[in-house]
């Protein structure tokens, strides 16, 4: 397996001290697998500004895995974004995940000076030149608010060409959607690495809710199988791990440049897949 492939783990900043301690323990465990980097999400509109900042600085500085903050532009002013970029830059952070974001319900319509992620990518380049490696989001099954698939592809291409270095996908359960997306954007001159985002399956009802909201299709046969397990968490996790492992094998064999695990701040499910795949440590 190519050593140049990259494997990364994503966390979200927690609200409580206890949650934060647990996150640090999970991160320390995952750090022993020597991932390429960690990333930490950002609540659009700045709702997790301090928690994301503190978590990133702690993961990077104390757990000692290079950590990429997510940064979204809806609801944040240019001045607020500039301040965060400078804080990260001064702290030696070298990678950033640039997003539009979704404002939490109740925060009203999108505000802020930058409307789409391509504008944020351009802004980061204007402000900090080549300091950051910029990751962008990709949607093999189409972003749920896109007018149509062609439009979404064109928007992704514009965002990539604004100065991104690589992309991480929304999760999906159908490897063909990933391969088709990559093929489409390659034909339009985008050659940056597009890393599949991997969502381990650990809980059916949460996954179904999440997937509806973000436009990831849970195939009927997977849904039916998970439904049949009811509250039998062990069977759900065993089936989920086998199914996702198989999809990751397909992705890596087909040329995916790595994997990005949506850990949901848990180690076991991502590590079960990592170990099944015998990824490098």
Residues making contact with ligand FAD (CB under 6 A)? 41-42, 44, 70, 72, 97, 99-102, 116-118, 137, 143, 145-146, 151-152, 155, 159, 168, 170, 197
CB of 1 to ligand FAD, least distance (A): 23
Q: Which is nearer to ligand FAD, 30 or 141 (CB)?
A: 141
Closest contact distance (angstroms) between CB of 98 and ligand FAD is 7
- 21 phi and psi angles, rounded to 5 deg: -60, -40
Contacts of 37 (CB under 8 A, 6+ apart): 6, 8, 65, 66, 67, 68, 95
Residues involved in catalysis: 10
Q: Which is nearer to ligand FAD, 118 or 270 (CB)?
A: 118
Nearer to ligand FAD, 71 or 222 (CB): 71
Residues 6+ apart with CB under 8 A from 148: 142
Cβ of residue 169: shortest distance to ligand FAD, in angstroms? 6
- Give how far the C-alpha of residue 101 lies from the chain's centroid of Cα atoms, to the nearest Å: 12
Shorter beta-carbon distance to ligand FAD: residue 67 or 170: 170
Cβ 9 to ligand FAD, closest distance in Å?
12
Report CA 13 to chain centroid distance, whole Å: 14
Pick 48 or 237: Cβ nearer ligand FAD: 48
CB of 233 to ligand FAD, least distance (A): 26
Main-chain phi, psi angles of 61, to 5 degrees: -85, -40
Which residues have CB under 8 Å from 205's CB, separation 6+? Answer: none
Nearest approach, Cβ of 281 to ligand FAD (angstroms)? 24
- How far is the C-alpha of 225 from the C-alpha of 229, rounded, in Å? 7
Rounded distance, CA 114 to CA 201, Å?
Answer: 34
108 CB neighbour count, 10 Å cutoff? 10
**Cβ distance to ligand FAD smaller for residue 159 or 237:** 159
Between CA 79 and CA 154 the distance in angstroms is: 29
Phi first, then psi: give them for residue 47, nearest 5 degrees.
-65, -20
Residue closest to 192 by CA, chosen among 164, 211, 231: 164
Report the phi/psi class of residue 228: left, alpha or beta, with left for phi > 0 and alpha for psi in -120 to 50.
alpha
């Amino acid at each position: 397996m190519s050593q140049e492939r990259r494997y990364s783990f994503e966390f979200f900043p927690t609200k409580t001290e206890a949650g934060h301690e647990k996150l640090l323990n999970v991160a320390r465990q995952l750090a022993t697998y020597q991932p390429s980097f960690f990333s930490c999400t950002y609540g659009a509109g700045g709702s997790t500004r301090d928690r994301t900042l503190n978590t990133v600085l702690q993961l990077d500085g104390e757990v000692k895995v290079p950590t990429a903050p997510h940064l979204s532009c809806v609801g944040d002013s240019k001045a607020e974004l500039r301040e965060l970029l400078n804080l990260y830059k001064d702290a030696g952070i070298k990678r950033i995940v640039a997003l539009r974001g979704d404002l939490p319900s109740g925060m009203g319509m999108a505000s802020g000076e930058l409307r789409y992620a391509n504008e944020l990518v351009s802004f980061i380049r204007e402000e900090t030149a080549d300091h950051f490696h910029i990751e962008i989001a990709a949607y093999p099954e189409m972003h749920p608010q896109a007018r149509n698939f062609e439009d979404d592809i064109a928007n992704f291409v514009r965002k990539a060409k604004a100065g991104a270095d690589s992309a991480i996908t929304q999760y999906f359960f159908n490897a063909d959607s990933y391969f088709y997306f990559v093929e489409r954007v390659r034909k339009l001159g985008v050659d940056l690495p597009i890393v599949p985002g991997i969502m381990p399956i650990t809980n059916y009802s949460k996954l179904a809710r999440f997937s509806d909201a973000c436009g990831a299709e849970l195939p009927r046969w997977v849904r039916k199988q998970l439904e049949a397990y009811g509250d039998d968490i062990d069977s759900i996790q065993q089936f989920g791990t086998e199914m996702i492992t198989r999809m990751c094998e397909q992705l890596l064999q087909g040329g995916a440049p790595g994997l990005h695990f949506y850990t949901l701040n848990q180690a076991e499910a991502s590590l079960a897949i990592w170990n099944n795949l015998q990824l490098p440590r």
